[in-house]
Chains A and B, each alone.
Chain A
Amino acid sequence: MFDLIIRNITNRKVRSALTICGIALGIFAVIVMGAMSENFHQTFERSMSVTSDKIRVFAESGVFGGGLTDDKVSDVLRVAGVKDAYGLLMTTFDEDKMGMTGKQILGVPPEKSSVALYPVELKAGRFLNPGDSYSVVVGNNIKREYGLQTGSKFEIHDKYFTVVGILDYTGSIFDNAVIIPLETAQDLYNVGDSVSYIFAVPDERVDAEMLSKRIELSVKGTSTLSPGELEVQAKQSFMIFSVITISSGLLAAIIGGLCVMNTMLMSVAERTREFGILKAIGAETRDILLLTLGEASFMGFLGGILGILVGVGAVYVMNAWLATTRIVLFLITPRLLIIAMVFALLIGALSGLYPAYRASKMSPMEALKHA
């Protein structure tokens, strides 16, 4: 039966090719949008795993509202159950690019740099040490982009820093981080003793969620984000992002599906007499269903393969192009490829269902009378 299906597809070359292209376009959109979502998902997951043990303490007015200063660190440290606390200053590296490259300056107290970044490991060199002022630890992407190695000079905000450490690749926000001593960062960006937020590390036996509430109540003018709350918040943002990206891909794929349905309906209408002949010579309903559904599914399969190939190719090209600007937007995962392929097959099969039903239900006599 498969040879008949192939023959029916190849006999209407142009129409079949256009239909396959329609599906391929939809699957291409699923791949590109999905790859964007997958990249976001991976960065989120890895970033979460790196910072999941810490409570974030912000100024009540929010992270960009200011008002959080170094002295709040000691207030946080005084709260029962807080094992450690330190302030961090976070700002964009490329101010002229509005932070679109994802590169960030992270001002960290030098003595806390290894714990603040834990469990990220060093690929080369060391973390910041007490007494360091114009020393810098860079993420893996920064190292690659600027061709840095330990001992290299690196210009930040018109000042030269010595690279003392290079972080291992994490797939998280730390790959694009430029870590400098907190005080140097505060001077460099002229923010006095302000910090963006405070990391509070809970004692081993303390419930982080409870401690988070306690800090909020004990330290005036602060709000907190516990690891649990951060996860929920991030997951919500991720969900919204995923829904937007995936649904635009799915929409394109559904249009591809309608394309198949249209082709199959035309094909069934054109082959009415043929179905009558097949029934007259003894074809069962399931044979007709198999022929029609098989044709639609196979076109879905071919469209899926084509869409995946073009999509992966496009993602590769776009990632290579964006690599020069250090923006990583797309990530192809096996999960995404499987979803795209299953979706292509489903589109084909579901779109072929109605035409197949119509073909199988034809009265052989009526079909034979068809001109």
Chain B
Amino acid sequence: MREEKTERLASAEKSGKKEVRNEESVREKSGNDKQKVIMQVENLSKTYIQGKIPVHALRCACITVRKGELLAIMGPSGSGKSTLLALIGTLEKATDGKIILDGTDLTSVPEKLLPGVRREKIGFIFQHYNLIPTLSALENVELAMRFSRVPKKEREERAKALLEDLGLGDRLDHKPSELSGGEQQRVSIARALANRPALILADEPTGEVDSKTRDSIVRTFKELSKKGQTILVVTHDPEVAKECSRVLRITDGTIKDN
């Protein structure tokens, strides 16, 4: 397996595509980059107007995230966790504040350019996996790269490599309905990684899987984090939070611990 991976890396590097990160070099590099701030959230607020009543979903949130961090966001239902994730993921507009991700202030990016930001800088992992049911595992991972106009051959190679890395080499052509919950979530992780984003946002990624699968997903996150991938995980599960490098707690739209 190890030999196979090295072979693939060698061929990918030879073709100049930097297909898969070389574990050794990434580990070495991530050591140097660990101190690098990948995301800075400053006084981020979100107020919804329900009828005529303003509802403060998030108040003056300030977060600093370093490259390679595996950060857990915990809090009761309705505390603002998902709102924070949606704002960082540019799925919603902030009422106030700034989100600087990988040098780009996401709050000032024009609406038209947001899909590009989501493609290039952010990867999403959802609780319900949110895979396209009519596409195979490989095609679901490829899909993220289609919108980035990655050539077909390169898309296929990258998607295949990612799925193989996540232990789904023999499930490439399976539709989501033919995969277990854990496998679907791993396809979802592969899809999030497809465009090599600066940040992965995971919303209750273990919410629908058994404890064994949960542990496997958390292990995958930790491995990715070690390789320098920054991951924000919204979770209710203390077992997941325990494995993260840092935990943020949100109550009533306010971050309590940082």
Contacts and interface: CB of A to CB of B under 8 A. Distances in A.
B134 A282 contact: no
Contacts of B144: 281-282
B58 to A, nearest CB: 14
A157 B135 CA distance: 75
Interface in A320-366: 363-365
B197 to A, nearest CB: 10
B107 interface: no
A283 B86 contact: no
B155 interface: no
B147 A281 contact: yes
A311 B89 CA distance: 53
A277 B130 contact: yes
Interface in A1-37: 1, 7-8, 11
Contact of A283 (B120, B135, B147, B195): B147
A363 to B, nearest CB: 8
B148 interface: yes
Interface string B16-39: 000000000000000000000000
A287 B147 contact: yes
Interface string A276-301: 11111111110100000000000000
A280 B191 contact: no
Contacts of B195: 282
B126 A281 contact: no
Contact of A282 (B118, B126, B130, B132): B118
A284 B91 contact: no
B101 interface: no
Interface residues on A, range: 20 to 34
Contacts of A277: 126, 130-132
A1 B146 contact: yes
B238 interface: no
A103 interface: no
Contact of B91 (A274, A278, A365): A365
Contacts of B86: 365
10 contacts: A273-B130, A276-B130, A277-B130, A278-B132, A278-B143, A282-B148, A284-B115, A284-B147, A285-B115, A365-B91
Given A1-B146, A11-B134, A280-B130, 15 more contacts: A7-B134, A273-B130, A274-B132, A277-B126, A277-B132, A279-B118, A280-B89, A280-B118, A282-B118, A282-B120, A282-B148, A282-B195, A284-B115, A284-B116, A365-B86
